[in-house]
């Protein structure tokens, strides 16, 4: 695939694959404990990517600084973010509120991009970010439950801050490191912080049903390798604010998937929200 074509298809393909994460979470929830599922996903992704790296004969970094940078990125992008979201939902935070908190990421990224990366966010991009956030709120609004446990809400906020800082850290430190090698080291960092929590808080239950095995396979190959590979590509080749704004399209796409797969209803408020989110992303992402 040429670089020009990849640059065009990467954003919509990333959104489409990333949105399936919510579908996978719903499918596997009855069959496995959440952090146990994440840990197994990280370990399998590491195994697959190591084989890919070996077959491609890509060199591993030889300096401790590169390893440290990728480990920190993995802890922030995967370990703390995914672990925090799963923990918050498990401990009573409604999925709608969790998604709403995650939707704050582009706003926070826009605020931090200038002081940390020197990226100037134009008024047009701010307008697009605001419109996209409004659209995401409208999509999520009908699903917002009542009640938000303070601790779980705090963990969700920390998870959102974690992926925001992880995106910025990745932009600053990844340099020319091969993305396959980078992903392996990142998942090592994620597994390192997830494993102790699993040992302390979960029993390691997984029922190995076909639903779980299918969800796990897609989580490894589709999400951990496909979506994360596209995310690392987008971060390397674009402004982090523009990349973060793409996440506004995830709730609408996930809502359509849930409608098609599970028969969930789509209200007119959600349809208006989808249009706002798409328009906001289009405005914020214009060159």
Least confident residue range of 89-93, 215-219, 240-244? 240-244
Q: Residue 144 has what pLDDT?
A: 64
pLDDT digits (tens, 9 = 90+) for 123-143: 888 888 888 888 878 877 776
CB 33 within 8 A of CB 207: no
Q: Residue 275 has what pLDDT?
A: 86
Show the domain range for 247: 3-285
- Say which residues have a Cβ less than 8 Å from residue 55's Cβ, sequence separation at least 6: none
CB 281 within 8 A of CB 238: no
Residue 147 has pLDDT above 70, yes or no: no
Q: What angle do CA 162, 78, 285 make, to 5 degrees?
A: 70
For residue 91 the two structure tokens come to: 């401990």
Q: How many residues does the chain have?
A: 287
pLDDT digits (tens, 9 = 90+) for 15-43: 899 888 878 887 888 899 999 999 999 99
Number of Cβ atoms within 10 Å of the Cβ of 96: 18
Report the domain count for the chain. 1
pLDDT digits (tens, 9 = 90+) for 58-96: 999 999 999 999 999 999 999 999 998 888 877 877 666
56 CB burial (10 A radius; 0-12, 13-18, 19+): exposed
Distance CA 210, CA 227 (A): 23
- Say which residues have a Cβ less than 8 Å from residue 193's Cβ, sequence separation at least 6: 75, 79, 80, 83
Q: Residue 188 has what pLDDT?
A: 97
Q: What is the mean pLDDT of the chain?
A: 84
Collapsed DSSP state (helix, strand, coil) of residue 206: strand
Within 13 Å and on the Cβ side, how many CA atoms surround 98? Answer: 22
Closest CA to 221 of 17, 54, 68, 53: 17
Q: Please, which residues bridge with residue 32 across strands?
A: 206
Within 13 Å and on the Cβ side, how many CA atoms surround 160? Answer: 22
């Amino acid at each position: 695939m040429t670089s020009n074509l990849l640059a065009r298809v990467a954003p919509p393909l990333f959104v489409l694959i990333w949105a399936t994460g919510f579908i996978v979470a719903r499918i596997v929830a009855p069959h496995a404990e959440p952090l146990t599922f994440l840990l197994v996903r990280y370990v399998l992704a590491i195994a697959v990517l190591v084989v890919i790296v070996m077959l491609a004969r890509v060199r591993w970094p030889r300096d401790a600084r590169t390893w440290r940078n990728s480990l920190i990125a993995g802890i922030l992008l995967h370990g703390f973010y995914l672990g925090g979201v799963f923990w918050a939902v498990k401990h009573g935070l409604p999925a709608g509120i969790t998604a709403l908190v995650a939707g704050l990421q582009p706003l926070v990224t826009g605020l931090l991009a200038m002081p940390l990366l020197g990226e100037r966010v134009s008024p047009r991009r701010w307008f697009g970010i605001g419109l996209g956030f409004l659209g995401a709120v409208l999509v999520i609004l009908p699903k917002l439950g009542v009640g938000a446990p303070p601790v779980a809400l705090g963990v969700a906020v920390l998870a959102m801050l974690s992926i925001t800082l992880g995106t910025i850290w990745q932009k600053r430190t990844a340099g020319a490191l091969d993305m396959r090698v980078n992903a392996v080291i990142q998942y090592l960092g994620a597994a390192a912080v997830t494993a102790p929590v699993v040992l302390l808080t979960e029993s390691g239950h997984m029922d190995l049903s076909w639903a779980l095995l299918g969800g796990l396979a897609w989580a490894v190959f589709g999400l951990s390798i496909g979506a994360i590979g596209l995310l690392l590509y987008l971060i390397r080749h674009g402004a982090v604010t523009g990349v973060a704004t793409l996440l506004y399209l995830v709730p609408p796409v996930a809502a359509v998937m849930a409608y098609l797969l599970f028969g969930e209803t789509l209200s007119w408020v959600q349809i208006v929200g989808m249009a706002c989110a798409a328009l906001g992303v289009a405005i914020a992402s214009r060159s």
